[in-house]
Amino acid sequence: MFEIFSTRETAILIWSSIFIITALLIVKFKGVFDILIKFFDRKIQIPLWGMFCYIGAITFAFYVAGVWNMGLLKDTILWSLTSATILFFNMNKAKEGSYFIPIIIDNLKAVIPLEFITNFYTFSFGVEMFIIPVMTFIGLMQIVAENSSRSNADHLKTASCLKSLFAGLGILIFIYVFYKTLIDYKSLITAENLKSLFLPVVYTFLILPFLYLLALYMNYEVLFIRLPYLIDNKKERLQMKLNILLLANMNLKKLHKISTNLNFATYDGREIKKSLKKILKESN
């Protein structure tokens, strides 16, 4: 089973399993059960499986075009269950189109030589099992020290030392990997490896329209849930929804402005459209 995974992926899988099992033993199982109930709610599951079907449609189109093959199945599944799922659960934070720019930038970074080399060259299983928890621990300690430095200035020095240590270990690993790459570059730079490298980048670009529509839907839903508390009259409420749809339409930024500023002070039942236009004008 584990032959399809690299030594790094196997080590990550084992350490993740250890962390999850330990967390389950520490926390109350009732709390975990409650989280699972919320996770399997149809409001989450329907759009989540909709996303997976969308990814499946992209994959099928690539397969028909001769771009995708079964050798990329593992990469496609891992990307779908990790990167795509994380993006899915963060769409409630999307309030305007600019939210998606860092996502694009982060994925473009994946094609630089450093990422290419470190992703495709892995150490032995034992070394990977040692490196992953050590690097993770140092990284987490650095984050904790940086956060606590706001209340204790002395922790800033600790954070700086940990940052230097993390960077130093990273440089040593990179030098060794770069050396091994120069010796065996022919086995690294192959068509299949390049496809595997660019797969998450291409898929992320292609899934952005779906995520944007999901963010729109979520923002509309939150706003429309609030409307009954603002407008008692059903007819007025329907007019408000129609006007919001006409004015905000597919513009996430406009929708967020309306959602943020629509309240008893800005709403006029006699001039619904005028009220919304005023909100959009004043919030610019």
Confidence (pLDDT) at 63: 94
Amino acid at 46: I
Residue among 162, 185, 218 nearest 43 (CA): 218
pLDDT of 113 over the 60 cut: no
Q: For residue 2, what pLDDT is reported? A: 47
Look at residues 208, 221, 218 and name the one whose alpha carbon lies nearest to residue 98: 208
Of 210, 245, 253, nearest in space to 224 by CA: 245
Alpha-carbon span 44 to 30, nearest angstrom: 20
3-state secondary structure of 122: coil
Residue-wise pLDDT for 83-94, tens only, equals: 899 889 888 888
Q: State how far the Cα of 267 lies from the Cα of 244, in Å rounded to an integer.
A: 12
pLDDT reading at 200 higher than 60: yes
- Enumerate the domain spans of the chain: 2-214, 231-282
Tokens 């084992």 sit at which residue? 14
Q: What is the reported pTM?
A: 0.75
Work out the angle at residue 199's Cα, subtended by the Cα atoms of residues 198 and 200, and round it to the nearest 5 degrees: 95
Cα separation, 8 vs 16, in Å, equals: 12
Q: Examine the pLDDT at 66 and tell me if it is beyond 50.
A: yes
If you average pLDDT over residues 280-284, what whole number do you get? 71
Higher pLDDT, 254 or 273: 254
Q: What is the predicted pLDDT for the residue at 30?
A: 59
* Backbone phi, psi, residue 146, to 5°: -65, -40
Report d(CA 248, CA 217) in Å as an integer. Answer: 12
Query: CA nearest 63: which of 219, 199, 213, 267?
Result: 199
Integer Cα distance of 248 and 264 in angstroms? 20
Average pLDDT over residues 196-213: 90
The two structure tokens encoding residue 165: 């240590």
- pLDDT, tens digit, for every residue of 9-47? 788 888 888 887 777 777 666 566 666 777 788 888 999
